[in-house]
Amino acid sequence: MSREGRRRTARPMLRTIATRASAEVARHADQNLTALYLDMMAAERGAGTNTLAAYGRDLEDFSAYLKGAGRSIARADTDDLRAYLGALSRRGLGAATQARRLSAIRQLYRFLYAEGHRSDDPAAVLEGPKRQRALPKTLTLAEVDRLLSVAGKSEPAAPLPERLRAARLACLVEMLYATGLRVSELVALPISAARKDTRVIVVRGKGNKERLVPLNDAAKHAIADYLALLAQSQPGAPSKWLFPSFGESGHLTRQHLARELKALAGAAGLRAAQLSPHVLRHAFASHLLHNGADLRVVQTLLGHSDISTTQIYTHVLEERLKSLVRDLHPLAQG
């Protein structure tokens, strides 16, 4: 074959190699930009492990789509972003998932623009999918009473481990309903949070922020009963955790508590789908508001950084206002 023939044969191969090399460079560039953004989220905003993992997965999916279209995070424009959102819809992803992906993309490009990695923000003009925020699942007062009455039941003559499990579950349920803690905050409480004379507990929440949450008498009694049995079962130096476990974390896991609550629901005559740690958190907030608590107070107790997050409970306030007008307004009588 002549030299010119060899050149003609080699050109397509060289173009393929160059294209692959360019795609590989773009992939690494995307990873680097995403890593910079996630580092900022961790260092400056105190984002937790779960939050960072969720953002990482969303941005990895976005990067994979761009790679398939021959684009990259550094070069994508607004049309590329709209095409990605359209692809999410065609894949059957719900409006909530699409909105979360768009939020991650918006924050990424806002960061890249502010740090000088982009000269523009292609996500600034994008609008998210319209979605109606679902009302939180909650429980009635009667249902909470049934749960609390069933949670701590055990025979006085039952073996110590059985009585300890019942007391721990009662303590967990009382604290979830009495404080509105996130399940991750509750299971990771240190033993120091359970001092005998304590009226409030210091909780380290999202973004490593601390807040004070008061304890009612029922929760304090449940803690005392549980700790008395825990001391009997663990002679010697106590664990540093309020709810110790033999697992890797050293304390009870969210998954284990969720399973225990599902079993408790059945024992209390509720459907398993009705009960979770988050449902008890919603019950805490809803019942406080129904009984006259201020929305800002509930925001502080729940550890919401933005009042808009707490406003999912405004339906409770609306119902309470209607009841007040119906019961107290002079023209509403008769």
Q: What is the pLDDT of residues 170-182, one digit of tens each?
A: 999 999 999 999 9
Asked if 177 and 283 count as a contact pair (C-beta separation under 8 A), the reply is yes
| Segment among 50-54, 109-113, 170-174, 287-291 with least mean pLDDT | 287-291
Q: Six-digit token pair at 94?
A: 């719900």
Instruction: Inform me whether the pLDDT recorded for 14 exceeds 50.
Output: no
State the catalytic residues: 182, 206, 278, 281, 304, 313
Distance separating alpha carbons of residues 76 and 202, to the nearest angstrom: 45
Residues of the chain with CATH 1.10.150: 3-114
Helix (H), strand (E), coil (C) string for the chain: CCHHHHHHHHHHHHHHHHHHHHHHHHHHHHHHHHHHHHHHHHHHCCCCHHHHHHHHHHHHHHHHHHHHCCCCCCCCCHHHHHHHHHHHHHCCCCHHHHHHHHHHHHHHHHHHHHCCCCCCCCCCCCCCCCCCCCCCCCCCHHHHHHHHHHHCCCCCCCCHHHHHHHHHHHHHHHHHHHHCCCHHHHHCCEHHHHCCCCCEEEEECHHHCEEEEECCHHHHHHHHHHHHHHHHHCCCCCCCECCECCCCCCECCHHHHHHHHHHHHHHCCCCHHHCCHHHHHHHHHHHHHHCCCCHHHHHHHHCCCCHHHHHHHHHHHHHHHHHHHHHHCHHHCC
- How far is CA 159 from its chain centroid? 37
Name the residue type at position 177: Y
Q: What pLDDT score was predicted for residue 16? A: 45
Distance separating alpha carbons of residues 141 and 130, to the nearest angstrom: 34
pTM for the whole thing? Answer: 0.61
Architecture of domain 141-327: Orthogonal Bundle (1.10)
Which residues partner with 213 through β-bridges?
201
Residues of the chain with CATH 1.10.443.10: 141-327
**Where do we find the tokens 């806002």?**
110
Residue 145: count of CB within 10 angstroms of its CB: 12
Instruction: Inform me whether the pLDDT recorded for 248 exceeds 70.
Output: yes
Which residues partner with 251 through β-bridges?
244
- Sign of the dihedral defined by the CA atoms of residues 159, 161, 162, 168, in that order: positive
How is domain 3-114 classified at the CATH fold level? DNA polymerase; domain 1 (1.10.150)
Which residues partner with 200 through β-bridges?
214
Q: What pLDDT score was predicted for residue 309? A: 73
pLDDT band, residue 244 (cuts 50/70/90): very high
Percent of the chain whose predicted confidence (pLDDT) is above 70:
82
